[in-house]
Structure 1
Amino acid sequence: MKSLDTLDRLTVVSPHLDDAVFSCGALLERARSCQVITVFAGFPGDVPLTDWDRRCGFLTAEEAVRMRREEDAAALAELGAKPVWLDLLDAQYGGNHPPEEVAQHLAPLIDRFQKGALAVPLGLFHSDHILTHEACMRLYDEHQELRWLFYEDALYRRLPGLLQQRLAELLQKGLRLTPVAGPRLPPRAKERAVSAYASQLRAFGKGGYEDTALPERYWKVDAHEPH
């Protein structure tokens, strides 16, 4: 694999409308051509306002998703990335999608991405992150021509034991992974992109998203030994 500083084409699969920038913003900024596929970006309709959306300052769930899409478009524009939004529902809005359904939505988008690097979440802690990871793993065997990268989910990667547990599970599935350092320092473009998610940062509060400023970390697939 080329240096992560010189990727030609990059697709990042993001559970929510912020995860790709929080976890991979520096890498996106350095890729010559990049897109972000956000899985759970659907409009929820008439559902009760969640506590998280209330903390973000919204009055309805529809308003929350509309604003998050606007924030995501602005953030990705800072990094030169194209947004692709799927219409699946976030778990907080009652989304209950099995991994095979998510994989079916992702498959045609990844099929069109014929070469380059594909970065997917390790899938830590949050149910939507775990589901996105499981869906991507269903597509792995069919797309080994791509250069697969697993990224460490920002914010959740610092929770004790979760990263080690996921790496052990992938080893049991026959994937041998090697750590790859991301770009040394987050560029100013990533700082501006993170700040574009103003509603989310409001809910995280001061110090709640400091992990986004720390070095990004990735794991590349060195070998796959089918079990």
Structure 2
Amino acid sequence: MQLRARLLVVSPHLDDAVLSCGLLLAANPSAIVCTVFTAPPPENMSTDWDRQSGFTDAFQAMLARKQEDIRALEKLGAQAIHLPFCDAQYLLTPSPDDLAEALHRTLNEHSPDNVLFPLGLFHSDHTLVSNACLALIADMPGTVFHAYEEVPYRQMREAASKRIEELTKRGYALTHATDVAASVNESKAHEQTKREAIAAYASQLRAFGPQGQSTLYSTEKYWRLQSASS
């Protein structure tokens, strides 16, 4: 299988798709990146992560972060979609049903041939988005679904293997997506483009710090997902 133009990557936060799938996006211009948690909280607040990122409050943070995301995706030739949900740090997590409905609506609107979504490692937002996407597999038999291992959480000991074991017990079949890996052109040009896109997330790099930044550049890894009943 060759990934075609109608590629849609679901990203929990404003940087996850580029960190985890940047080379794939560089190799597939005109892809869509749908980021779930891009809304500020109804009432302004200040969180540790936003302060580490250089912001005084959530309103300032989310406005700047969406602009960073647009600039990053422009470098990869991708289109940004921002869904209006708050991430966990703002204490207003959407219900699984509301999230699944919004994602289903987005996928139906754009009719992608291939959907990539987070495997669901470590972070509660990532697991929530992953589970919402898993719920769509049975409803969209004409769409190919792949999960990507999220950077930097994929480097946590046994994080990926434990999640894969959990999904297998839940009735999903996961296989190494060698077709996706083959479509990733690890040329110097694409590697440089990905690095430039990551650099656009200046606030997040600030929060990661030098040590955290060193974990952001690792081999991309994908899994083909199917429901065992399909």
Partner residue of 2:87? Answer: 90
Residue identity matched to 1:106: L
For 1:140 and 1:202, locate their aligned partners in 2 and report how far apart those are by CA, in whole Å.
36
| SS class of match (2:41) | coil
Shift of residue 47 of structure 1? 3.0
5+ residue gaps in structure 2? none
Q: Distance in 1 between matches of 2:120 and 2:10?
A: 11
The residue that corresponds to 1:23 in the other structure is 20
Distance 2:26 2:142 in 1: 24
Q: Decide which of 67, 71, 76 is 2:73's aligned counterpart.
A: 76
Give, in whole Å, the separation in 2 of the partners of 1:113 and 1:48. 34
Q: Is the 8 A contact 1:12 1:118 kept in 2?
A: yes
Partner of 1:224: 227
In the superposition, the TM-score normalised over structure 2's length comes to 0.91
* CA displacement at 1:101 relative to structure 2: 1.2
Corresponding residue of 1:112: 109
Q: Which moved more, 1:17-26 or 1:162-171?
A: 162-171
TM-fit CA distance, 1:172: 1.9
**What CA distance in whole angstroms lies between the structure 2 residues aligned with 1:121 and 1:84?**
16
Determine if contact 1:100/1:138 at 8 Å carries over to the other structure: no
Matches within 5 A, 1:39-54: 39-54=36-51
8 A contact 1:45–1:61 mirrored in 2 = no
Give the aligned partner of residue 204 of structure 2.
200
- 1:162-201 matches, cutoff 5 A: 162-180=159-177, 182=181, 183=184, 185=186, 187-201=191-205
Q: What do residues 12-34 of structure 1 show as CA deviations (whole Å, max 9, x unaligned)?
A: 00000010101111101111430
Partner of 2:136: 139
Identity over the aligned pairs, expressed in percent?
Answer: 39
Q: d(CA) in 1 for partners of 2:224 and 2:28?
A: 17
For residue 184 of structure 1, report the CA deviation from its aligned partner. 5.9
Match of 1:57 in 2: 54
Structure 1: any 5+ residue segments left out of the alignment?
none
What is the aligned partner in structure 2 of residue 100 from structure 1? 97
Q: What do residues 108-156 of structure 1 show as CA deviations (whole Å, max 9, x unaligned)?
A: 1111232421000001111110110111111111112111110001100
| More moved, 65-74 vs 45-54 | 45-54
Query: Residue 163 of structure 1: SS of its match in structure 2?
Result: helix
Post-superposition offset of 1:8: 2.9
Distance 2:54 2:162 in 1: 35
Structure 1 Cα separation of the partners of residues 104 and 84 of structure 2: 14
- Quote the residue 1:128 is aligned against: 125
Inter-partner Cα distance in structure 2 for 1:91 and 1:32: 31
Structure 1 length-normalised TM: 0.92
